[in-house]
Chains A and B, each alone.
Chain A
Amino acid sequence: MPVEIAAPKIEVRASTPPPETSGKAKVAVRDLDFFYGRVQALHNISVEIPERIVMAFIGPSGCGKSTFLRTLNRMNDVIPATRVGGQVLIDDHDIYAPGTDVVELRRRVGMVFQKSNPFPKSIFDNVAYGLRINRVTSSNSELAGRVEQALKDAALWNEVKDRLKTSALSLSGGQQQRLCIARALAIRPEVLLMDEPASALDPIATSKIEELIFDLKKQYTIVIVTHNMQQAARVSDTTAFFLLGKLIEVNSTEKMFTAPNEKLTEDYITGRFG
């Protein structure tokens, strides 16, 4: 007789209601296809991401979540033999239209990677890097001010304020990841993409990052990819479920984890596969 295993209950943090939006989405993806050579990795994805919310993408590994995230700031361009079909509109501008300034795009759509990748420079120089190359300011004091603000936003300031000139590589894993977040925040992107930002971290560092994300969404639109459903439930307002390169469902987090629309979603949430 088959045994019914009770699915673990997923705690959904009561999400703050999204601020009044004009109804226009910050990021609108329409019929997106993506190919690695001849292999199609994303099939006909359409989703709208409103401003100043946290949207989480969940799904089993290898289902295209990271690939999708990277199409939003055209990081996939560095991989040879990739092809994109469809549109990705940020503020109504198709970022794949010819003539798009990719450098400017990446300044306005920031990214934090799965494994922290600080430059082999000092903590200060890491955070200041984006500011310097974009010539945001020529005044040293203003630069220092922006760096301090970014580190505070990333909840790292208190831990490093006395050693800004020491090497970034001397920080712990969790601190390095928060440093990378500060580095991305320093240039004040409008959208922040996070690719499994806490997967390489211990539980305490992870909870710090999650707190951080919860705070950041007051200012930024955040898209986070995670394979950890509990994490998605904790931090996001909206959740999208990916499977095999297709978008199965997009729903508010509360509904997604309590009463999803699709059967596939429910099966995944309750752990019947993946």
Chain B
Amino acid sequence: MTTMTYSSSDRMRRGVSTLMTTLTFLCTLLAVGALLVILFYIAYRGIGSLNFQFLIDRPRPVGEGGGIGNAIVGSLVLLLISSVVGLPLGICVGIYLSEIGRGRIGGAVRFIVDTLTGIPSIVTGVFVYAILVLPMKHFSAMAGGVALALIMIPIVARTTEEMLKLVPHSMREGALALGAPQWRVILGVVVPAAAPGIATGAMLAIARISGETAPLLFTAFGSRFFPESLNEPIASLTVQIYNYAISPYDEWHAQAWAATLVLMTLVLGINIIVRFLTRKKF
């Protein structure tokens, strides 16, 4: 009988196994490293130009400083418009998919929502250009908000549907057995039970939207002034970063990094808060 010590197994198999498991570890290390490198670089490049004046001033010609105040306000306005339009619609679609849609119609709607999720955001921008900007003959904050809402709706619908599906059936049946009509069960029992999950889904969608650039390029377009009405072009952080980045001026490049730092703080902040809220407590 041979003994069962290391030498008796096929050394090469063991070596291959160790090699591959080391490689997978390195891949993960590389990914995490890439993330940290990018984040730290943003902080490093952006912190220099970041000051209070920068945050409240509007853009000025090269050499005169200026800031991203109007872009921050513009982004907030666009987020507001898109949330007001997109969140209710998205949640309703989510409710439909989870609670009501059955059979062929439900399947078709789910397919449509999946399709919407996969549409590149630039195509959405082209679409909104065609139906809003062309008829109105000018760019507008409304158009930008609508474009962002169209991107937001399928995301919110998906997460809402998932959260609602997690609510145990026993809860629904308990309410029904007490004689509540279905709409009361959904609105009064199921949705409140899933509310925290729906809220975090909404927050993640907002974080996603705040980083979108392409659909704004020809809907909201951009502006060098603080917004005065929803019917005219409006600035946004992302478009401003883009414009500064591709410009030939070093001063604007520096401002692009600072603006990126502001944007990343918002986006990362939301993601980390959501993660904190959804951590498993047991």
Contact = CB atoms under 8 A, between A and B. Distances in A.
Interface of A: 90-91, 93, 95, 99-101, 103-105, 108, 133-135
B3 A103 contact: no
Contact of B8 (A90, A91, A95, A101): A101
A90 to B, nearest CB: 8
B6 interface: yes
B1 interface: yes
A28 to B, nearest CB: 14
B5 A99 contact: yes
A101 B1 contact: no
B13 A100 contact: no
B4 A101 contact: yes
Contacts of A105: 4
Nearest to A94: B4
Interface in B1-25: 1, 3-6, 8-10, 13-14
Q: Interface residue tally of chain B, by bracket?
A: 10 to 19
A134 B8 CA distance: 12
* Main secondary structure on A side of the interface with B: mixed
A130 to B, nearest CB: 13
A100 B10 contact: no
A135 B5 contact: no
Contacts of A101: 4-6, 8-9
Interface string B144-158: 000000000000000
A99 B10 contact: no
A91 B3 CA distance: 9
Contact of B4 (A100, A133, A134, A135): A100
Complex A-B, nearest 3 residue pairs according to Cβ-Cβ distance, in ascending order: A104-B9, A101-B9, A91-B1
Given A91-B1, A93-B3, A104 B8 contact: yes
